[in-house]
Homo-oligomer: A and B are copies of this chain.
Amino acid sequence: MTEMETIAIEPPELTLQQVFILLEQEQFDPLQTLLNEFPPKQLALMLEAMPPAERKQLWELIPETLSAETLTFLHDEVRNSLIAEMPAEALAAAAEQMEVIDLAYIMEDLPAPVRQTLEESLPDDILEHLENTLSFEEGSAGRLMSTDVISVRSDVSLGVVKRYLHLHEDLPDYTDGLMVADRDGIYQGKLLLNRVLTGDDEDLVQDVMNSQHKPILATASEHDIALFFEQSHFVSTAVVDENNRLLGRISLDYVIAILKAEADHALLGRAGLDEEADLFAPVLNSARRRTVWLAINLVTAFLAAWVIGLYADTLEKIVALAVLMPIVASMGGIAGSQTLTLTIRGLALDQISSGNKAWLARKEVLIGIINGLLWALVVSGVAWLWFRDSGISLVIGAAIVVNLVAAAAAGIAIPLILQRLRIDPALSGAVILTTVTDVVGFMSFLGLATQFLV
């Protein structure tokens, strides 16, 4: 056995709970020592999980060497609130330590005066680099790329490359190869480190480089970047301009960041929430932000109420209808959300085209009919046991079939229409679907009852 310990996963030497306890006990020195060893990404998660007072205390204890990187991992609102309290010099010092990609990302969200002060304090070379990065659109490969690239010419030998690399102390993270470019900086291919190691000193770069390693255009979107890496086996790839000139490189770790951000956006967006918001923002700010979603929903709810109101006379005569009507609406909502979810996923994966749309719609409607009939039977049965009124039983059964079929059709149609209108179906699809299933549910149930029971 060696002396090295076996450590499976870096054990969380410091849990959030322990930080709260150390802060409360004012054990600032031991806490600071522990924080020194902590990955900035974890520090960011902890800061986000702290109410304002504790957050401020913790932030002041984070060593300067880690604060720049920690800032880059924070959500916008938390980061901006911390920056707002930082003295201009501290912010400038942090900015100089950041990678320019991260700096550009942060700058864009800063209030104009803070941004201006910061720009004035930055050294010229960083400022120039920053302006260059900011010239690319947010979320594009140009904005995300690192310019920390080692490039070689195709007509040199591996021996020369080896001697050149030997001059370096270390290579940038996620370097799996060197970019090959000609005298004019035009990208020609990638020389994998593997190849440098397995090749002969006399081999020329052009003979062992991989010219199938396609570059990414600086204007490519985050979504395209993620797709590109998923379909390749690359750890990093070249970024080029429209003339194929080598500008920088992007590595696989960004794909992970992109995928996590997309998942977070989808999860929170469905509840009308902003993923960049601070969990511990002032109550009034949070209340204001959430209220928009409630307002949208209220319109839906009043629409449903209006439909019910159309049948007020019927309800007055048969109160059992009021008791049972939420069941019809709710079953439709649940069945519709299943179809909606599958359709949204299919669209996101480019799995829905005019070649299978009709097939899918038919299948979903058939499922709606089958499950509609099944649950109509169950609900009718329970309604009969409850109210001993065969008319009500028949009407609720029919309404359930109608609503489940409508829900299936809406679950397919709504996302397809929204996509054509260039509205993200993942964000607004559910609200519209609920409107449909509520309106159809109440209308079919109370309408049939008015027709046949009154």
Is A235 a contact partner of B338 (Cβ separation < 8 A)? no
Q: Could you give, for residues 325-349 of chain A, a 1 whenever the CB lies within 8 Å of some chain B CB and a 0 otherwise?
A: 1110111001101101110011001
Q: Which of A33-56 contact B (CB under 8 A)?
A: 39, 41-42, 45-46, 48-51, 54
A interface size (C-beta, 8 A): 149
A215 contacts B by Cβ under 8 Å: yes
Q: Does A86 contact B (CB under 8 A)?
A: no
A170 & B194 in contact (Cβ 8 Å cutoff): yes
A interface with B by C-beta (< 8 Å) = 1-2, 4, 6-10, 15-17, 19-21, 24, 39, 41-42, 45-46, 48-51, 54, 162, 165-171, 173-176, 182, 186-189, 193-200, 211, 214-217, 219-220, 224, 227-231, 233, 235, 240, 242-244, 252-253, 255-256, 259-260, 262-264, 266-268, 270-273, 279-280, 283-284, 286-287, 290-291, 293-294, 297-298, 300-302, 304-305, 308-309, 312, 315-316, 319-320, 322-327, 329-331, 334-335, 337-338, 340-342, 345-346, 349-356, 359-360, 363, 366-367, 370-371, 374-375, 378-379, 382, 386, 438
> Hey, which chain B residues are within 8 Å of A354, CB to CB?
17, 20
Alpha-carbon distance between A384 and B304 when the two chains are bound, in angstroms: 17
Q: How far is the CA of A355 from the CA of B51 in the complex (A)?
A: 9
CB-defined contacts of A272 to chain B, threshold 8 Å:
334, 338
Residues from chain B with a CB closer than 8 A to the CB of A229 are 256
CA gap between A449 and B69 in the complex, in Å: 57
Which 4 pairs between the two chains have the least Cβ-Cβ distance?
Answer: A20-B355, A8-B217, A49-B351, A322-B322
